[in-house]
Structure 1
Amino acid sequence: MMSVVGGVLLLSLILGPSSAGVEGEESVTDALDVYSFHIRSKVSSRYAVTVITSRVANRASAPREVDFHVELPKNAFISKFNMTIDGKSYSGVVKKKEEAQKQYSQAVSRGQSAGLVSAVGRTLEEFKTSVTVAAHSKVTFELTYEELLKRRLGKYELLIKARPTQVVKDFKIDVHIFERQGIRFLETHGGLASNDLARAVTTNLTDKEALVHFSPSPEQQQCSDCQDKGLSGELRIVYDVNRPKSEGELQNVNGYFVHYFSPSGLSRIPKNVVFIIDRSGSMSGTKIQQTQEAMLKILDDLHKEDHFGLIMFDGRVTPWKDDLVPVNSDYLALARDFVNNIRSEGMTDINNAVLKGVQMLSRFGESHSGKESTSILILLTDGDPTTGVTNLDEIQKNVREAIRKRYTLYCLGFGFDVDYKFLERMSLENDGLARRIYDDSDAALQLQGFYDEVATPLLLDVQMHYTGASNVTYTTFGQYYDGSEIVVAGQIDYNDLEIFNAEVKAKMKGNDSIFHEVLIGNERNASKTLDHYIFETYIQRLWAYLTIQQLLERQVLLTEEQQTAVREKVLALSLKYSFVTPLTSMVVTKPEGEEPHVAHKPKEGNTKTQTKTQTRTRIFASPIARSSFLQGASSSSSSASSSSSSAVRRRHKNTRLATKGRATARIRSGIAYLDIEEKPTARILPEIAFLKVLLPAQGQNTSICFNVEAPRGLIPKEAVFKLLHDPATGVSINGEMLKRGHFLKIGVRYKDKCQIKANTTGIMVTDEGKEQLIFWTDTPTSHHCDGISMTMQNKVLDVSVGNISVNILLHEKDKKSFLWADIRQQDPIPKAKGLLGRSPVSYVLKETSPLVKLEILGKEVLATRDSAVDFRTHVKPTVDCWLVPFSSLVPESLLKILGL
């Protein structure tokens, strides 16, 4: 059973001025006084309930705005939030996500102050809200969240980081840990427990309880490294519990049980491991260096009973040896040389690489059939497959059918260019798990740490059975590794049951084994009495927490119908226990005149992208920002509509025409409008920039790509292209291109009924003169405009009208945001024109030497091997393509009209 990083608690309280401040008044830091700052965490049998309380006084003679900002573990669920202002309380209410989002959107559409308060980081999530505090008034914030600490490498860890931004008179962190099994060891680490601050930490440890208290004086908070902004540091509490050699720990309170199973004293099972390492071009530089560093350390840690293999892959699959070899000094020396000489180049063939690893394990199993061992594959990749089999579903099927439940596959996704859901599905289907390796300075340590977790298998095929229980969490586990822990929770059918029996069957080195744990009536009563003073319902809430986590983790493997049933169950539990999960949000009520905030459970993603989106949302919510958006969207408006008389006047002002035949490229106010209709293309001016477009090819694995040349020279920053125009339906889609070949704005127009204008900060929808703002968000939402339906999810706006649909995606590259449009048609549209609204074409490869020739639309054209980024998904894979002239994709009849 694998475990992940333990509980993490981080708190930041950020203070900012309100626009109501008076010139010449005292500074904000003097006016806003955080006079009390408490963190209380109670941990009962690994289940932690943490309450963060901050009290702030506005000592100014004018209103001030106070931001409450808390970072919490990704695995935690917020369960309570409360603000108290001048004795009056305002509480957060957990609602179905769609209901909460609707309430938020209504507030924003009125141009009032509101903001999403969700973000995601590497190991943390963020809760953030704000409130305006009247002069000489006080506010108290109180946030509660819950989590199950997971055992990793033989310990649990609670990490508390405090950054209150100023010296606090009453500053306390209190952690109370109660473990019925007894606490084997407990240590405190981190900046808040070192140097002079070590005197502010006190620890009282008894057999079953630990109290950790941190209370720095104002003088201790004024450290030399704090820059007069108070403390900024972390307190890490690391501990483990006593463990019997075979039995686990079984507990019951109020009809719910939890079983912690982590036997010690077992012999390790030899393992056969194949490391499958991506060395494609995208791994060049730091990534490949960190991979080499980690692999060298992992080779040193291989056990003498193990066997191992190495596979490097790009567009080719290169095994170090054709078969697994034993761990000895000679093979290790050769393996180190092989790792040191890894060079990154080429494409990415995941399918053949994994299948090669499976073949190596199969051959080894056939030749060592009498020896007891376990076999695993560890795949490390930083991107999507770009050669060989590239269909993700097909790769999953091939790998699943090859492994046939015989081996375990772990998938490590390096960075954010990889399709992480694909890796999750593939690993879960093969009894493993996926882990993201963050592209950071400690990536080598992350890789090492993962290997350490699976380095020592102790049990295989673990089956947990409970007599008289129902609604039990997962009970089947492929492996149990040293240093981890299996946790199962459920309900006892009859609370007066005299004997509650737990049975664990597993394979261990040398033989199969059965572990028993029995909880009889007197012990159950003692359990209830002993644990009641911690909090009476902790096992019930632990059961709900674990059930939700496991259901969400496994839903990627389910059918659509099964996923619907799982979501209903998760939603019901989330609402019952007031957990903020991916299906719920917390609406933070605020005083009259201030709109509510909404706290979401964010998805795994890029920290910078998520944070920037949050910032845009908050800026966007004000009337001034809304006005700025409308001005910025005017270009998209003119892209999508040419009927406005003011737009016509602007279009002819400072206009310069470049013509060839009937072609026109209008240049006005620094924007070139390149019409690709029944008019020839514009004369190309100096300094050409390219928009590279991918076009799927029927019956071929390799796509077609073509460059569209955007005029430059006297044309400054942008050029507007017609992406699709269908005169039959009245649908027009235009895009305004950036210098770098990406879209800054995309406009969609349907007759005179509906206009949609998207830019990198949001979407403006105009329906019969009424305007509505839509914000880029991961949350599923739906909107309607006369004749058009729109849905938003994962920062993708799906616009559908008739048999035409377009996905408008918000992307980020090199810290810059841009848009892309993926236009799809159910049936070919004969009279439709445009760059992206083209149906797939077929081609025949005629010659490959000395020049590549393709036959397209009945004519032979020269082509070159190239690659292009596919912006139709957020993964943005780089794919192979045949680069051809755009004119080769246009029928002869249209070429004559265009004059090409």
Structure 2
Amino acid sequence: MSSHHSFEVTIKSTVSTEVTTPEKPIVSIKLTEMRVRSEVALRYARTSVLTHVHNPDARPQEVTFRMLLPDTAFISGFTMILDGKSYKAYVKEKEEAKKIYNQAVSQGISAAYVATKARDSNQFVVSANVEGNTTAVFDLRYEEFLERRNGLYNHDINLHPGTLVPKLEVVVHIRESQKITKLHVPEIRTGNEVDATEEDRQNSKAVIVRGADKGEITITFTPDLEEQKRLAEIYVEKTKEKSSPGRNTSDKENKRDSTALGQFVVQYDVEQSNNGEIFVNEGYFGHFFAPSSLYPLSKYVVFVLDTSGSMMGRKIEQLHSAMNAILSDLNPNDRFSMVEFNYGVTVHDLNKTDQAAPTRSPIILNPNVNSLNTSVTLVPPFIASPENIAKAKVIVSKLKASGGTNIYDALDVALNLVIKGVDLETEKDLISEESDCDVGYYYDDLLEEYYELEPVIIFLTDGEPTVAETNTNRIISYITEKNSGDNRASLYSLAFGESADRAFLRKLSLRNEGFMRHIYEAADAALQLHHFYRQVSSPLLSHVQFFYPQEQIKEETVSRNRFRVINAGSEVVVVGQIEEDATEITPQVTGFYGSENGLGRIRYEVFPRVPVKCRKDNYLPLERMWAHLTIKQLLDLRDAGDDQSTNATSAAEKQALALALKYEFVTPLTSLVVVKPNATNSVDVESVDKLPTQTNFALGASSAQFAPASMIVNRRAPALSKAAPARAATPAVLSKQKAVSVADGVTASPTAPSVQGSPVASLAPPAPAVSPGADYHLEEFMWTTAILDNTADALVIDDNGIKVLKLTKDVNPPKEAGGDGECLNRLPLAAQAAAGVNATSVCVYLTRCNAARNITPEEYRDSCCFINNRFAGVCCPKNEVDII
């Protein structure tokens, strides 16, 4: 999966009725030029998107820009040139930015405040008025560090201009210190699901110019109008092919697709050394480490696969296909187990397929913590022989989807497998007692080899926990505590589709030596799964540590320097500041790598040495790279922090904020502000931090002289839990005034008070319906109005992360295909008094639960659940269900 950038322009008329004449239609505003330029040095990309918009009409018109940035990028600058005057943005802490906004409003200066929400946190939106017969110029700049995956650095730029552009140019200039050994510029791609591969056809329209230095290349892409039209038509067709069956696209989506060109991709790699490379410049260093010619470590992989009811249909078929490919990629000395979970948990025994296999007795145990109080059969890991892989594929082909989502017990069992594998000596006696065959010799060999295996858990789910323990914070705490010691497993989470709780999965993996990836629910999901597995399938080094002498490096400035595992095709980077009097850097790098025969591991140790140069290299962006990577790691530390560890979390946040302000990065802690003084009239708006979110952020100015006054763009960390879908910003035209706004894809209805005696038109709200929830048959559930979002057809709650529970307008409420599943987060005692305190509770759609008619939003937050991983359910006493 590649993170994405995109650009889009939306044209809106803001012409006052006083100047509009019916006999003279408006001449539409035009996007005349779009230039994207990326400077990449040492894998650090600095990108500028420069756009020119011309208004050929005599009357002012509004233009709205949207640009999707990768989750790993920070906006580093924004400038607007309107009516010949330049307005530069600057970065402020969020609370200070809000004070600036409030002060502007109180003084009668136009202002807008926006806090980016949910999964659109990487979306930058700006709206501005373009005066008649003038050209506006917008320059947005952002920076990102290119991550190496499967042996390639990917730099991706989405081209969604919203219209055909007469002058469209993309230039990517790469300058690396090492020789560029691979370069691939594939055909424009039509999605962000899977990284491009070297098998993709070369882009015939891309011009590649190599510099005199073998580490320098310039790629230029300038599609003319005919080529843009051709690409847009291909995009539309391929988007239809990739879309989920039964998914209806809106007119707005279809319009955007008709002008979307796709994703321009540049892939490259550089000459790598087992000893790594160290670069120094102006008091900073960057230590790049991507070992390539080592023997890989053998691993023990536990596949934890969700087969709950929501996986039914194409998802389970894609899981079959992906696992077939993944199993074929296992190395001969690897071992593996397969854990399937839905309502319950099963560890599959390869000997129980239809194929004949040697008898091998299972280990029976009752896990220490098992919410369902069921016994689980733990089967020792199987070696990845051709015979065992074939058996595993037979089992995979029989996986079927049904039931709930028991994440807690599934992960608990997976860790039991890892722990029991380490303690196989204990099991040898148990096996000998239960089996007539001599297994002692077999287990002695297995025990010795197992100690040298690298434990990996691949955890795939498409939903949230609905069975056993459902509190995600408690699940994370328990699993993290259990997964401890030198042999703790790396836990990689795959969030399949939009219903998976990505915030939970990200935090779970961050706390357990892994990371989370989003698998898009599209036609190529099986390829996405296989592609992800390749990233973690070949551990080259484990227990890696970078040591730097204290007299050479400022210890408190060094970024993350310990890594549980480094996989083939990846790269780790350590950055920091150099002591003023240091003349050289002599670090020590240690770890363990695999032996030639795949059994055992060998200690790795290198002592690189590099002199500290006095001269400055302008193209080495080490200081900004240090700031960028340090902020990212501090935010990860904050997001992964235990709720009880507030001191460490707070310290990480403060450090990240200080760096973001110093280097002017727009992060989850800072805001981008643009101010123009002397504007008149203001509109007060509420922060979107408040839930439920209303939708429109706008500010008014006189029709005679319109200009943006104060604009604040907030960026939050990617809220990876379910969130309301993006909605187009629709700044209101307040009476005869024009509007300018910065928005995040959601809109809200503002009020317009008078400021300093200047009358400001009010936007009258529409007459309310008899009940805000009438369309969803919630007339008798009046408490829902406080958390109802009609634009999203959903209830929105904040439960340590935003949850969006969809509503239906159908008179027949949705039900789980496998029947109503039991749940534990039942309604409070007052609501279930009629049913009895100890009544069994089941998860049902809200309108089916009589006991939920008179609860509070807070009580619903603690007892909500999902029906079909989407709809608003409640944990309801069974005898209170379907009471008319």
- Indicate the residue corresponding to 2:216 in structure 1: 209
Offset at 1:198? 2.8
- Residue 872 of structure 2 corresponds to residue 883 of structure 1: no
- Residue 388 of structure 2 corresponds to residue 331 of structure 1: yes
- Indicate the residue corresponding to 1:504 in structure 2: 589
Distance 2:877 2:460 in 1: 29
- Indicate the residue corresponding to 1:631 in structure 2: 767
Q: How does 1:335-484 map to 2 (within 5 A)?
A: 335-365=392-422, 366=424, 367=443, 368-371=446-449, 372-405=452-485, 406=487, 407-467=489-549, 468-470=552-554, 471-484=557-570
Q: How does 1:725-744 map to 2 (within 5 A)?
A: 734-735=782-783, 743=784
Q: What one-letter code is carried by the residue in structure 2 that aligns with 1:132?
A: N
Q: How does 1:315-330 map to 2 (within 5 A)?
A: 315-321=343-349, 322-330=379-387
2:719, 2:801 within 8 Å by CA — same for their partners in 1?
no
Spell out, residue by residue over 1:232-287, the C-alpha distance to the aligned partner (whole angstroms, 9 max, x if none): 2332111001112x211111111111111012210011111110112122222232
- Indicate the residue corresponding to 2:20 in structure 1: 22
Spell out, residue by residue over 1:470-500, the C-alpha distance to the aligned partner (whole angstroms, 9 max, x if none): 2100111000100000111011122x41111
- Residue 627 of structure 2 corresponds to residue 598 of structure 1: no
2:331, 2:384 within 8 Å by CA — same for their partners in 1?
yes
- Indicate the residue corresponding to 1:872 in structure 2: 861
Q: How does 1:125-274 map to 2 (within 5 A)?
A: 125-191=122-188, 198-199=204-205, 201-205=207-211, 206-217=213-224, 220-221=227-228, 223=230, 232-244=261-273, 246-274=274-302
1:115, 1:617 within 8 Å by CA — same for their partners in 2?
no
Q: What one-letter code is carried by the residue in structure 2 that aligns with 1:198?
A: S
Offset at 1:60? 0.8
- Paired residues, number: 699
Using the TM superposition, name which of 211-220 and 86-95 deviates more.
211-220
Offset at 1:816? 8.3
Offset at 1:566? 1.5
1:251, 1:258 within 8 Å by CA — same for their partners in 2?
yes
SS of the equivalent of 1:612 reads coil
Offset at 1:568? 1.2
2:777, 2:809 within 8 Å by CA — same for their partners in 1?
no
- Indicate the residue corresponding to 2:724 in structure 1: 609
- Judged with a 3 Å threshold, the aligned counterparts in structure 2 of structure 1 residues 53 and 323 are, in CA distance, closer, same or farther, namely same
Q: How does 1:548-697 map to 2 (within 5 A)?
A: 548-555=631-638, 556-558=640-642, 559-589=645-675, 592=679, 593=701, 594-602=708-716, 603-605=718-720, 609-612=724-727, 617-618=746-747, 620-621=749-750, 627=763, 629=765, 631-632=767-768
Q: What one-letter code is carried by the residue in structure 2 that aligns with 1:882?
A: P
- Judged with a 3 Å threshold, the aligned counterparts in structure 2 of structure 1 residues 569 and 761 are, in CA distance, closer, same or farther, namely farther
Distance 2:547 2:801 in 1: 49
1:473, 1:546 within 8 Å by CA — same for their partners in 2?
yes
**Larger strand percent:** 1
Distance 1:551 1:567 in 2: 7
2:185, 2:202 within 8 Å by CA — same for their partners in 1?
no
Distance 2:78 2:540 in 1: 43
- Judged with a 3 Å threshold, the aligned counterparts in structure 2 of structure 1 residues 7 and 44 are, in CA distance, closer, same or farther, namely farther
Offset at 1:180? 0.4
- Residue 539 of structure 2 corresponds to residue 546 of structure 1: no
Aligned pair partner of 1:288 in 316, 329, 343: 316
SS of the equivalent of 1:469 reads coil
1:7, 1:148 within 8 Å by CA — same for their partners in 2?
no
Q: How does 1:747-826 map to 2 (within 5 A)?
A: 760=789, 796=797, 811-813=804-806
Spell out, residue by residue over 1:160-213, the C-alpha distance to the aligned partner (whole angstroms, 9 max, x if none): 232334444433221111100121121211239999983463433540101112
- Judged with a 3 Å threshold, the aligned counterparts in structure 2 of structure 1 residues 617 and 71 are, in CA distance, closer, same or farther, namely closer
- Judged with a 3 Å threshold, the aligned counterparts in structure 2 of structure 1 residues 416 and 625 are, in CA distance, closer, same or farther, namely farther
Offset at 1:336? 1.2
1:32, 1:56 within 8 Å by CA — same for their partners in 2?
yes
TM-score by length of 1: 0.70
- Residue 78 of structure 2 corresponds to residue 49 of structure 1: no
1:863, 1:882 within 8 Å by CA — same for their partners in 2?
yes
Aligned pair partner of 2:91 in 94, 100, 114: 94
Q: What one-letter code is carried by the residue in structure 2 that aligns with 1:235?
A: F
Distance 1:314 1:192 in 2: 36
Distance 1:175 1:505 in 2: 36
Using the TM superposition, name which of 103-112 and 213-222 deviates more.
103-112
2:209, 2:218 within 8 Å by CA — same for their partners in 1?
yes
2:723, 2:804 within 8 Å by CA — same for their partners in 1?
no
Q: What one-letter code is carried by the residue in structure 2 that aligns with 1:500?
A: I
1:417, 1:875 within 8 Å by CA — same for their partners in 2?
no
- Indicate the residue corresponding to 2:696 in structure 1: none
The structure number with the bigger radius of gyration is 1
Q: What one-letter code is carried by the residue in structure 1 that aligns with 2:562?
A: T
- Residue 605 of structure 2 corresponds to residue 514 of structure 1: yes
Distance 2:404 2:479 in 1: 20
Distance 1:325 1:412 in 2: 23
Distance 1:482 1:838 in 2: 54
Distance 2:809 2:631 in 1: 36
Offset at 1:387? 2.9
2:38, 2:171 within 8 Å by CA — same for their partners in 1?
yes
2:793, 2:807 within 8 Å by CA — same for their partners in 1?
no
SS of the equivalent of 2:587 reads strand
1:382, 1:417 within 8 Å by CA — same for their partners in 2?
yes
1:275, 1:378 within 8 Å by CA — same for their partners in 2?
yes
Spell out, residue by residue over 1:503-525, the C-alpha distance to the aligned partner (whole angstroms, 9 max, x if none): 1111112411112221114xx34
SS of the equivalent of 2:399 reads coil
Distance 1:466 1:220 in 2: 53
- Indicate the residue corresponding to 1:731 in structure 2: none
Q: What one-letter code is carried by the residue in structure 2 that aligns with 1:370?
A: E
Spell out, residue by residue over 1:112-154, the C-alpha distance to the aligned partner (whole angstroms, 9 max, x if none): 78574846768x8221112111111121101110111110110
- Indicate the residue corresponding to 2:306 in structure 1: 278
1:131, 1:590 within 8 Å by CA — same for their partners in 2?
no
Give the unaligned 5+ runs of structure 1: 637-669, 672-715, 724-733, 736-742, 747-757, 763-774, 778-793, 799-806, 818-834, 844-853, 889-899
Spell out, residue by residue over 1:270-328, the C-alpha distance to the aligned partner (whole angstroms, 9 max, x if none): 11111011212222223222222211111111111211111111222111122211112
Q: What one-letter code is carried by the residue in structure 2 that aligns with 1:452?
A: R
Aligned pair partner of 2:76 in 76, 79, 93: 79
Root-mean-square deviation over aligned CA pairs: 4.1
Q: What one-letter code is carried by the residue in structure 1 that aligns with 2:77?
A: K
1:83, 1:142 within 8 Å by CA — same for their partners in 2?
yes
- Judged with a 3 Å threshold, the aligned counterparts in structure 2 of structure 1 residues 105 and 610 are, in CA distance, closer, same or farther, namely farther
- Indicate the residue corresponding to 1:9 in structure 2: 5
Distance 1:224 1:547 in 2: 39
- Judged with a 3 Å threshold, the aligned counterparts in structure 2 of structure 1 residues 513 and 842 are, in CA distance, closer, same or farther, namely farther
Using the TM superposition, name which of 555-564 and 313-322 deviates more.
555-564
